[in-house]
Amino acid sequence: MHEEIFDVVIIGGGPAGLAAAVSASDNGAARVLVIERDRELGGILQQCIHNGFGLHRFKEELTGPGYALRYIKMVEARSNITVMLDTMVLAVAADKTIVAVNSRDGMIKITAKAVIFTMGCRERTRGAIRIPGSRPAGVFTAGAAQRMVNMEGYLPGKKVVILGSGDIGLIMARRMSLEGTRVEAVLEIMAYSNGLTRNVVQCLEDYNIPLYLSHTILAVHGNGRVTGVTCAKVDAAMRPIAGTEFYLECDCLLLSVGLIPENELSRELGIEMDGRTSGPVVDQLRQTGLPGFFAAGNVVHVHDLVDFVSEEGEIAGKYAAWHANGKMGDCGCLITVKAANGVRTAVPQVIRAVSGNTEPVRLYMRVEKPEKNVTLAILSDGQVLLERKLRVAKPGEMIVVDLPVENIKKIGDDITVVLKH
């Protein structure tokens, strides 16, 4: 078997992996490897051709491919970063040996001093939400359709219904309309859209596409190809209400019903997972529970802004380089971060109180449901470490708060993040 040795190996060449590679290189890792299964770097950004990326990081509104290109150029400018394209990682062992495969080298065994997981996330499918009915062709996840329309040159249908009003669903409603497809409706089981208001306005209202809130699909019809869907209103417990059923004719159903971090490799290693984020438990250095294994981006928790994905990648890259060079030192005591009372997720889930640490800890949080005029409170030992007033809080918009280092010193053995009304 072909064998290679690297200091830092990054699995996944999307925005998190690219930022991690650049940062690992800039922080002293001698040999960095990025393994990517697609034919090019950039990950999902390459199919997100709309603009609005990079407002924080580059102070301009880039397209997805434009944002990716900036990082690809940074990777190419660093001669100690190797990129393996069209290469699939099959297994990662606890001793940091990685088995990968591609059509040039066959099986490859790679030995690393530190590993960064940046595999991103996957879409929930029809099976994941169990829509009854027949099983015809023409049912796609919105992201799969996005790749067909934006990169491969196929139109998945001419009359479309979209289930789920997250940003990918909304963006695809506009995209399909621009390509001459009729979008009949967007259905959302919740009483509110999880997408940005900007996208509801510019992707649905601009094209007169109706948005049915508190609605879902009861059945998919069609033999061979989708011919239509039966829809219904749902009650507060999300149960369909009898008598509200109606039929929408369509030849394509797109699903935008959530994303799940892609953690097969992390799970096989027995790395501790967070049941709410579906990603590994990480500390503020983005190190998982297994020393030398780091994780960043959508594989940890699903982000809404790529800028924060890059930021996480940078953190993971830096400390993976430190780990590879034996600079990590004393790991410090562990403080757990718990989300409670209206806060659904908080990352990092663990803070290491390392002596001499001078960097603030940035917490990323999501609320359970839309709220107005609430206070986000970070508590420890009954003491308030930090409070932030929020005029609005939405599950679709991540809340980002920096916890200054002097506040961390006051911490007891754990931290709880809550919403106060």
Partner 1 sequence: MEEERRVSCIVCPLSCVGDVTIADGKVKTVAEFGCPRGEAYAREEVIAPKRMLTTTVRVSGGQLPLLPVISRQLLPKDKIISCARCLANVTVSAPIKEGDVILSDILKLGVDIVASRDLDAI
Distance CA 221, CA 241 (A): 20
Residue 263 contacts residue 299 (beta carbons within 8 Å): yes
- Which residue, 275, 280, 277, 276, is CA-closest to 264? 280
The answer to the question of residue 198 lying near partner 1 (CB under 8 A) is yes
Residue 217 contacts residue 196 (beta carbons within 8 Å): no
Give me 76's structure tokens.
């190419």
Single residue of 105, 392, 405, 420 touching partner 1 by CB under 8 A: 392
Of residues 141 and 146, the one with the C-beta less far from partner 1: 146
Report the site for partner 1 in 205-234 (rule: CB under 8 A).
205-206
The answer to the question of residue 77 lying near partner 1 (CB under 8 A) is no
Single residue of 20, 81, 187, 200 touching partner 1 by CB under 8 A: 200
Judged by CB under 8 A, the stretch of 100-108, 175-183, 332-340, 360-368 that binds partner 1 is 175-183
The answer to the question of residue 389 lying near partner 1 (CB under 8 A) is no
Minimum Å gap between C-beta 373 and partner 1 is: 11
Minimum Å gap between C-beta 235 and partner 1 is: 26
Max distance between CA atoms of the chain, in angstroms, equals: 66
Residue 247 contacts residue 256 (beta carbons within 8 Å): no
The answer to the question of residue 366 lying near partner 1 (CB under 8 A) is no
Binding mask 395-414 for partner 1 (x = CB under 8 A): --x-----------------
Displacement of CA 65 from its chain's centroid (Å): 17
Distance CA 278, CA 259 (A): 10
Distance CA 296, CA 117 (A): 7
What are the E-state strand segments in 234-332? 246-249, 252-255, 259-261, 273-274, 279-280, 293-295
Of residues 193 and 380, the one with the C-beta less far from partner 1: 193
Of residues 391 and 421, the one with the C-beta less far from partner 1: 391
What H or E segment, with its residue span, contains residue 365? strand 361-367
Distance CA 189, CA 52 (A): 27
The answer to the question of residue 152 lying near partner 1 (CB under 8 A) is yes
The answer to the question of residue 69 lying near partner 1 (CB under 8 A) is yes
Judged by CB under 8 A, the stretch of 22-30, 92-100, 314-322, 387-395 that binds partner 1 is 387-395
Which residues bind to partner 1, rule: CB under 8 A?
39-40, 46, 49-51, 61-66, 68-69, 149-153, 178-180, 196-198, 200-202, 205-206, 391-392, 394, 397
